[in-house]
């Protein structure tokens, strides 16, 4: 048996008229329901356009509401956000890496990478308090430092029971400099130095200064170290 169109009370919905891309019924403001006893597909060889612009905030709102799953053979383009649910068995950026770019991603299970690259930001002539924006990078390349300086790390996530690591690549000249003090969003932090003592930077070396931040019970613990390379 072919499909029938019913109204919300289960009766045949009356006369239907098709004009161009518009399907209309003689009943006003009545739901049109495909008879569940039908076995055929509803097929449209031409473009199907929904002009309703109702926004969607959950699975039961929006211009199109589907109770079951949706199968799409071709590409899917989203002009807005993709919210809720899970992405399963999905390859992201298999051809163009830019297609797999995220501003934030959270992985609850084991994450395995065959390779990855980190963004490095640059700073020149550091002295005084130097802002390091965590949204820009977590690694900074420092050259031509004028004096020991205070690293002020800004825009830091404050979720409890998390650790963050930031590093400074220090290109030392004739007088060695380093981040001798540390702030988070302008608030001074005590640095727990490796080997119990603040390090002594070495002139004419390449050095990497690392800070590991631990967030717990609404407070920070900051561990610091300095490694020197010839």
CA distance 2 to 111: 50
Q: Return the top range by mean pLDDT from 22-31, 38-47, 164-173.
A: 164-173
Q: What's the predicted TM-score (pTM) here?
A: 0.64
CA distance 30 to 185: 57
Q: Kindly report, residue by residue over 87-141, the tens digit of the pLDDT.
A: 666 666 555 555 556 677 778 888 888 888 999 999 999 999 999 999 999 999 9
C-alpha distances (whole Å) from 131 to each of 177, 207, 222 are: 17, 20, 17
What pLDDT is recorded for position 1? 40
CA distance 129 to 123: 12
What pLDDT is recorded for position 210? 98
pLDDT at 42 over 60: yes
Residue 143's CB is within 10 A of a number of other CB atoms, namely 14
Q: Return the top range by mean pLDDT from 8-12, 71-75, 215-219.
A: 215-219
β strands within 26-161, DSSP E? 33-34, 121-124, 128-133, 139-143, 149-154
The β-bridge relationship of strands 149-154 and 128-133 is parallel
What pLDDT is recorded for position 156? 97
Name the average pLDDT for the chain: 84
Average pLDDT on 2-18 reads: 55
Give the class (CATH, top level) of 121-229. mainly beta
């Amino acid at each position: 048996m072919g499909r029938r169109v019913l109204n919300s009370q289960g009766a045949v919905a009356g006369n239907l008229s098709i004009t161009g891309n518009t399907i209309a019924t003689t009943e006003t403001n009545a739901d049109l329901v495909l008879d569940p006893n039908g076995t055929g597909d509803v097929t449209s060889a031409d473009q199907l356009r929904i002009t309703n612009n109702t926004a969607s905030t959950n699975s039961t709102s929006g211009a199109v509401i589907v109770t079951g799953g949706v199968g799409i053979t071709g590409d899917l383009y989203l002009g807005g956000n993709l919210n809720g649910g899970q992405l399963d068995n999905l390859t992201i950026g298999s051809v163009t890496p830019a297609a797999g770019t995220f501003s934030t991603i959270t992985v609850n299970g084991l994450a395995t990478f065959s390779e990855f690259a980190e963004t490095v930001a640059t700073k020149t002539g550091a002295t005084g308090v130097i802002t390091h924006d965590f949204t820009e990078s977590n690694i900074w390349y420092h050259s031509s430092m004028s004096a020991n300086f205070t690293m002020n790390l800004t825009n830091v996530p404050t979720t409890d029971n998390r650790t963050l690591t930031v590093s400074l690549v220090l290109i030392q000249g004739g007088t060695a400099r380093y981040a001798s003090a540390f702030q988070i969003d302008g608030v001074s932090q005590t640095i727990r130095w490796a080997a119990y003592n603040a390090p002594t930077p070495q002139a004419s070396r390449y050095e990497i200064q690392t800070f590991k931040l631990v967030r717990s019970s609404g407070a920070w613990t900051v561990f610091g170290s300095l490694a020197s390379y010839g």
